[in-house]
Amino acid sequence: MRVTIADVAREARVSKTTVSRVLNTGAEVDPATAARVREVIDSLGYVPSSGAVGLARGASRTVGMLTPSLTWPWMGEVLQGVADTVEAAGYGLLLYTCHRGADSVRHFTDQVSARAFDGLLVVEPENTLDTLTALHRRGLPVVLVDDRGHRPEFPSVATTNRRGGASAAAHLLGSGRSRPLVVTGRRDFGCVRERLEGFLDVLPTDLVVAGEFTAATGRAAVERTLASGRGFDCVFAHNDLIAAGALRSLREAGLSVPDDVAVVGFDDLPMARHTEPPLTTVRQPMREMGRAAARMLLAGLAGGTIPDEPLVLPTELVVRGSAPAA
């Protein structure tokens, strides 16, 4: 049976609050009492929970993070940035996903009610923005990573999607390409609209195919466009998975990349360096977005001021073999 803080308090003949104060180094406790509590902790083998450590100050020193799924291609980069920052500040991290839909959301809101964490970082699961807004209005500190153009009323970290789309178009145009096929993600995502608008501002086309952020979308878009007879000399894919699918379909059709068709992706996932040829892509600073969001949340928990306007980090075009410079 697990040893609890109540067991330690009973054995040391003190209150649970006193035990928690001993666990909070720096809290004022009589030295003899503190020594007795530590002896009991050692003898019982008690492992304190974050809640016990934070009991005396009404805080868990734990940050929650809510994500749609861990299978999203760039989620690992965001999580690593968050974990590095949170752990360096002496906080724990609780991870929640909405992989099971409404059941996951109910479980998550139960944890909020139980005060399992002090603040929340979010990569927004679908159809949860109203719930998150309500939690924020009730006092839960929230910072959103990748706002997808929603501009919530709580703080967020975003990237320059429109500028990224424009940089992809400018690069293709500068290398002599003029007939693009654009393959997007879901149009209800603000980031998709921004990337498309930025691209079309520089290199207009009516050859735009919408789909999901998957390799299957890239394959199908290229296959259907080739079958239609509409010519194109470059592909702008709205993420690297779409681009990888496009590369495969072009190769299967006997077309050379980049000689016949140049391809540009978006994200700069680790896989982008290992496609054939290596993928030119627009890099999103996903790890830094995770770090920045965590720093914002921790600053707010420490009593600092969090900016009302989104923190926007720049994208960067990374040129590789699928669309080399002219």
Confidence of residue 16 (pLDDT cuts 50, 70, 90): confident
90-128 pLDDT, tens digit per residue, is 999 999 988 777 777 777 887 776 677 889 999 988 888
* Cis bond upstream, residue 277 (ω within 30): yes
159-214 pLDDT, tens digit per residue, is 999 999 999 999 999 999 999 999 999 998 889 999 999 999 999 999 999 999 99
Closest CA to 98 of 130, 65, 73, 74: 65
237-282 pLDDT, tens digit per residue, is 999 999 999 999 999 999 999 999 999 999 999 999 999 999 999 9
pLDDT confidence of residue 223: 98
pLDDT confidence of residue 166: 98
Percent of the chain with pLDDT over 70: 91
Give φ, ψ of 183 to 5 degrees: -115, 115
Question: What pairing do the DSSP bridges indicate for beta strands 316-318 and 280-283?
Answer: antiparallel
Report the chain's mean pLDDT, rounded to a whole number.
89
Give φ, ψ of 266 to 5 degrees: -150, 130
Q: What is the dihedral of CA 237, 239, 240, 245, to 10 degrees?
A: -50
